[in-house]
Structure 1
Amino acid sequence: GDDLFVNDLRGAGLYLGSNWSEDLAGTCGVGACIVMQEPVTVHQDDHFGNAHVSLSCTAAPIFDSLGGLAAVLDISLLRSPSPKRSQNLAMSLVTNAARRVEMANLMAEGRRDWVLRLSDSPEFLDVDPEAAVRLDGSGRVLGYTRGARRLFPDGGAILGRRIDEVLGLTIDDLPDLMRDRPTEDRIIELRDGGALFGHAIAPQAPRTAPRSSRQGGPLAGLAGDDPTMEQVLGRASKLARTNVPLLVTGETGTGKAKLARAIHMVGTASGFLSLDCAGLSAETLQKSCADVSGPTTLVLRRIEDLAEDTAAALAAILDGRACLRPLSTSCVAPGALDLPRPLFHRLAGATLSLPPLRHRRDLGVLLDRLLRRRAPDDMRLSPSARVALLGRSWPGNFRELEQVLDVAIALCEGRVIDLPDLPAPINAQTPEIEVVEPLEQIMEACGWNMSCAARRLDVNRSTILRRLRRAGLQPPA
């Protein structure tokens, strides 16, 4: 307060360190609010102590996202008009401020989860909503503001409840409630017949530093914060400066050729020779390798397509040219490669397996990185378009992702790529999930969000849930 009123404020008990608990001060604004956990005005002679009857105190509780009382916000006046209604403005100030503090707290906690903000009016939905809930990938409540209590009028526990118990939507409907849609169109029906306006905010990618010891360089640009890729690149960085022959495997478009080039750049070989094994004759192979001098990285793309006579020539060349360090790529698993065993062991001293995009946790980071490289600086994805891209299965991996972005950039009329700008996903038949490990990898890549996993595999959420139960898989504690 004003320094001119310091003595008056201290005489009224308004100073740092004063105790306004009910059992000590009797009826007072802060103490009553703590006990009642409701907004309250204790006006003049409502106070228990005679020393406080000149005061008017208006207080509102602030709850944490788990429903517990965290603080009380109070406005106390030394002098005010006699009618209690004179404090209506103070009541409006503390209740609105408390609601905004709760909202800010929930938003700060919910960066890795869905947040659904709710309002009775479309005009205030995006700027000052009345309530919000934080939801996990299955639509269960992880946190809420005080205003969201009215959604669950039965008085029972709110945490862990499914949002579709009280609202006419599921977690899969949230992308339709994002900010790129007109507020008046974001209507949510209540189970009791009413309606609210909703604003959904999608989970954000974690902003964490890479966990590996790689310090920049060609390998660092191949991944974001994906544990599997971090392990692959960590091994690659250690093997790059050796002469160990490497076999890089992975689905088409996963970046095998880029990894091979990055390994060469990190390594010690000065020469670089890249050959496509499809249609490669023994004569062409021998001519290509004839002029090689000094340490050279020999990249053999799609080694599974190597002809039988060329395979024999390659084995002879590797035996006679110690300066060649073979680095092969294949879309086939090492155990399924149909190569002569002696040649296989000359090529596969160590194997690096690249995961498909649908198994990677850094898909969001890679999406942003590719968009920055291929689009003007001020072009961005709408929230709905981003969610749609993150939910695709990407059978063509990086090649498909790059082509989708190129099409969207070309079709976009302004600077925001929206859903109509995206080409339709490839309707490739998704194989049945028969092995436990791939399903677990997909769930980990999606943060155990069943809706995201269902979109990547192009199946229903119920299918994912059924397979998880059958396999005995559960989210990590």
Structure 2
Amino acid sequence: MIERYHVEEIAQVLNGHASGRDSYVDASWRRCVEVYGMDPTRNEPAHIVTETEFRTHREQAEWMIGAARSSLKTLFRQVAGQNYVLLLTDAKGVCVDFFGDDLFADELRGAGLYLGSNWSEDLAGTCGVGACIVTGEPVTVHQDDHFGNAHTALSCTSAPIYDSLGQLAAVLDISLLRSPSPKSSQNLAMSLVTSAARRVEMANLMAANRREWVLRFSSSPEFLDVDPECAVALDGSGRVIGATHAATRMLSRERQLIGERIDGLLGISVDDLPDLMRDRPTEERVVALGDGGAVFGHAIAPQTPRRPPGATVSRTSGGVLTGLAGSDPGMERLLSRVERLAPTEVPLLICGESGSGKTKLARAVHMASRRGGFVTLDCAGMPADEMASVIEAQPRPATLLLRRIEDLSEAAALALPGLLDAHPDLRAIATSGLSPSALLSHEILPCALYHRLAGAVFELPPLRERQDLGWLIERLLRRLSGGEMRLTPSARAELMARDWPGNLRELGNVLDVACALAEGCVIDLPDLPEPPRASNQEQSLEAVLDACNWNMARAARRLGVNRSTVLRRIRKQGLRAPN
């Protein structure tokens, strides 16, 4: 009887009626049916990754496990005897660390509250960890908030853990096999898990920046030195190179925090930091905020001599890069290479069609490298002397982004290698709408400049060839609408079938228009702007088929031809579907 009511309630939400539950629960139920194709009547068991997969996830999260372990132990002591279990998952939802009572070990394994369980929303349905990953906010998914009948006895409260560059790195979850009916019974669990997540972020920031200034904040002087609310790490010039999530919210004011100078954010400069150390009374360490308010500040000096200009840290966080792609093998391989190169001095050349994300990738590389400044030069029409003056004026070490390098004037192209060689602490990243072979074969760039810039070359695939198109659609829609808007199946199928000559830029514009035109929170076919009509016969058939998982009908729609034409071209080119 209870299961029937649960299924009926989900059906009402799918028909556009609010359930009276938290909005993130309704939104998740809709995704479970319309995006993931789940059935609430099926009693799906917990998804456990293989031993090999678990080892991979565990190894990649080792640094976060180390930062979190002390806070998890403290939290588990706080809830001892109340039958809570603690899970630490990575950003993909896989449990990599666990604290629970051995008396209930078998029951916890059966419920998936154990090492190796995957609580991502597309596998587990509506759940605490999955909803936290999607929203990026602390959530409680209580009993029949869960989508699947297998989990409706559980109560799960989860909080996100962000890395020091602002990317989701992990989720801390506190769960009960059985709990009182009111959702408010988990308010204490929410307070405990959010405080623990904040401390994990603080511990990670401190561990990663032992050789830099760290500035911690608290609204109360009593807790400043023992349990501050947030913190930023600063390089020797006073630029922010890392921050906890709470600090980003406090200081960023809707702009990028990493790379900002502290004197542009607060009423202090890097020279004032010694005045905020522990040798002064806490009440006197007042820091003015940009909005006119004030907090108390605690500055921690570098523990060892600061690394020399141009030196790099030994470990980078992949979070800022992993957010650029979903399950696309080509993009995963590309981003894996980029992650290894990000902290080095190697100059990069990024090629790809207009709108494919070249500038976004370049900025992600800069953030992962933890360099100070980031300056962009639009190469079209820039005189050599103006380019030289801009480069000379940049603080260093910094990243220099050269957009559309193929548009450099001949004089600027001849001068640029010498300028870069004269400033070795400027790391060059160039982007181009042409392929690497076109840049060389047509002598668009002098060979000396090409080889000076192309230390490593990356070619971003166009959107029509990416296998994570569905993931990108959902991610952009969530970002544009705050998770409030959803697509009908027919609207989603139409977007999946389009050619996207404007790539990510076009997709973002289409979703922006659709959100504005839609009635309520549902985007349907009439809300989508018409696609531009152009011939697509020249694009790679095999790449389109791969992106469509060899679905002939979808490939035909994307190419703008009949299904029979696709089959004829497959036979003519001798193509075979992968096993």
Quote the Cα distance in structure 2 between the aligned partners of 1:404 and 1:420: 12
| Alpha-carbon offset, residue 206 of structure 1 | 7.3
Deviates more, 1:233-242 or 1:263-272: 263-272
Aligned to 1:448: 550
Residue 467 (1) aligns with residue 569 (2) = yes
Work out the CA distance in 1 between the residues paired with 2:317 and 2:364.
14
Distance 1:343 1:464 in 2: 42
Aligned to 2:349: 247
Q: Which runs of 5+ in 2 are unaligned?
A: 1-32, 42-120, 125-129, 131-314
Deviations 1:314-349 (A, max 9, x none): 122012111111100001001111100001100001
The answer on 1:273 being equivalent to 2:375 is: yes
Instruction: Give the alignment partner of residue 259 of structure 1, picking from 361, 375, 383.
Output: 361
User: Match for 2:573: what amino acid?
Assistant: A
Q: Is the 8 A contact 1:443 1:449 kept in 2?
A: yes
Instruction: Name the amino acid aligned to 2:325.
Output: A
- Return the letter of the residue paired with 1:419: L
Matched ranges for 1:44-443 at <5 A: 216-337=318-439, 338-433=444-539, 438-443=540-545
- Deviation per CA, 1:353-390: give whole Å up to 9, x if none: 11111111110011001001111533210000000000
1:148-187 deviations in whole A, cap 9, x for unaligned? xxxxxxxxxxxxxxxxxxxxxxxxxxxxxxxxxxxxxxxx
Rate the CA distance shift 1:318–1:246 in 2: closer, same or farther, 3 A: same
Instruction: Give me the whole-angstrom Cα distance separating, in 2, the residues matched to 1:358 and 1:390.
Output: 9
Q: Is the 8 A contact 2:34 2:489 kept in 1?
A: no
- Count of matched residue positions in the alignment of Structure 1 and Structure 2: 275
- C-alpha contact (below 8 Å) 1:214/1:234 kept by paired residues: no
SS in 1 for 2:377: strand
Q: Does the CA-based 8 Å contact 1:303-1:330 persist in structure 2?
A: yes
Q: Amino acid of the residue matched to residue 413 of structure 1? A: E
SS in 2 for 1:315: helix
Q: TM-score, normalised by structure 1?
A: 0.54
Partners of 1:305 and 1:273 in 2: CA distance:
18
Task: Kindly provide the CA deviation profile for residues 275-297 of structure 1, in whole angstroms up to 9, marking residues without a partner as x.
Answer: 11111111210111112242211
Q: Distance in 2 between matches of 1:462 and 1:426?
A: 23
Q: Using the alignment, how far apart are the partners of 2:330 and 2:462 within structure 1?
A: 11
Aligned-pair CA distance for 1:439: 1.9
Q: Is the 8 A contact 2:34 2:488 kept in 1?
A: no
Kindly indicate whether the alpha-carbon contact (under 8 Å) linking 2:514 and 2:527 is maintained by their aligned counterparts in 1: yes
Structure exhibiting the larger radius of gyration computed from Cα positions: 1
In the TM superposition, residue 258 of structure 1 has moved relative to its aligned partner by 0.2
* Aligned residue identity for 1:401: L
Cα distance in 2 for partners of 1:324, 1:470 equals: 50
For residues 225-272 of structure 1, the C-alpha deviation after alignment (integer angstroms, 9 at most, x for no partner) is 100100110010011111111000011100000000000111142221
Alignment CA distance shift 1:389-1:460 (3 Å): same
Specify the code of the residue in structure 2 equivalent to 1:389.
L
Amino acid at match of 1:320: A
Quote the Cα distance in structure 2 between the aligned partners of 1:262 and 1:374. 20
Query: Identity of paired residues, percent?
Result: 54
The SS at the match of 1:222 is coil
Structure 1 segments, 4+ long, off by >6 Å, are: 110-115
- 2:115 counterpart residue number: none
The alignment partner of 1:272 has SS state of strand
Q: Which amino acid aligns with 2:578?
A: P
Give ranges in structure 1 of 5+ residues lacking alignment: 1-109, 116-126, 128-204
Q: Any idea what the Cα deviations from partners look like across 1:35-59, whole Å, max 9, x if unmatched? A: xxxxxxxxxxxxxxxxxxxxxxxxx
Query: What letter corresponds to residue 405 of structure 1 in structure 2?
Result: L
In the alignment, is the contact (CA less than 8 A) between 1:214 and 1:220 conserved in 2? no
Alpha-carbon distance in structure 2 between the residues aligned to 1:462 and 1:451: 9
Q: Which amino acid aligns with 2:397?
A: P
Following TM superposition, by how much is the alpha carbon of 1:207 offset from its aligned partner in structure 2, in angstroms? 5.6
Give the secondary-structure state (helix, strand or coil) at the position aligned to 1:292. Answer: coil
Structure 2-normalised TM-score?
0.45
Aligned to 2:323, what secondary structure does the other structure show?
helix
2:399 aligns to what SS in structure 1? strand
